[in-house]
């Protein structure tokens, strides 16, 4: 599996899955969430409203993930995940790890081979980008290597993901992720 970091616009990535740093309402917001909703078009909001009406009436919990079609995006799917909000006291790194592990699991279930992540929780949710980079890269590497905290004995990691791309908006975020990727 290739793991890389690039600076760019996550909405233009030619991958199977784009991960959305969503809020629990799934009804759009600012930052990455707003950009993905704008680029995907109104069908994404309708799909998210349907999820809220049917399977997620209380919203998507922090650390969990759910998939929708990509609609107007180059990506076939959007996997929405809710990062922990440090300003709201959500400081457990396990919640942030889950924001990278759960989308990988869903991507495999969808039959995807490539996935693009933003720096979940590094924006308005207040997590330092260097910490997000450490947790994100570490989680993807553990997942790649079949090391999962909650895995049943003898359970192996599902196969299929060939590319994990971290798509970062700022040069500082890119630097933080590149530093983590350079570590052995």
Q: Which domains does the chain have, with CATH numbers?
A: 2-182 (3.40.220.10)
pLDDT tens-digit map of 117-138 = 999 999 899 999 999 999 999 9
Residue 77 exposure: Cα atoms within 13 Å on the Cβ side? 21
Whether 9 contacts 35, CB under 8 Å: yes
Confidence of residue 148 (pLDDT cuts 50, 70, 90): low
pLDDT tens-digit map of 56-110 = 999 999 999 999 999 999 999 999 999 999 999 999 999 999 999 999 999 999 9
CA distances from 163 to 18, 58, 93, 112, 174 (A): 12, 33, 24, 10, 17
Verify whether residue 33 is a known catalytic residue.
yes
- Average pLDDT of the chain to the nearest whole number: 93
Q: What is the DSSP letter of 158?
A: P
From first CA to last CA, the distance across the chain in angstroms is 15
Q: Does the pLDDT of residue 153 top 90, yes or no?
A: no
16, 33, 64, 145: which is the annotated catalytic residue?
33
pLDDT of residue 157: 56
pLDDT of residue 150: 52
């Amino acid at each position: 599996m290739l793991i890389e970091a690039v600076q760019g616009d996550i909405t233009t990535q030619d991958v199977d899955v784009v991960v959305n740093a969503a809020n629990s309402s799934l009804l759009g917001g600012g930052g990455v969430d707003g950009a993905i909703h704008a680029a995907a078009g109104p069908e994404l909001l309708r799909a998210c409203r349907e999820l809220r009406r049917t399977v997620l009436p209380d919203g998507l919990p922090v650390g969990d993930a759910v998939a929708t079609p990509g609609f107007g995006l180059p990506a076939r799917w959007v996997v929405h995940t809710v990062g922990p909000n440090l300003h709201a006291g959500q400081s457990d790194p396990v919640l942030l790890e889950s924001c990278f592990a759960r989308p990988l699991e869903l991507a495999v279930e969808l039959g995807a081979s490539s996935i693009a992540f933003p720096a979940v929780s590094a924006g308005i949710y207040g997590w330092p980008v260097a910490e997000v980079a450490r947790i994100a890269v570490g989680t993807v590497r553990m997942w790649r290597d079949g090391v999962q905290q909650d895995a049943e004995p003898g359970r192996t990691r599902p196969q299929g993901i060939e590319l994990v791309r971290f798509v970062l908006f700022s040069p500082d975020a890119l630097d933080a992720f590149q530093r983590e990727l350079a570590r052995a």
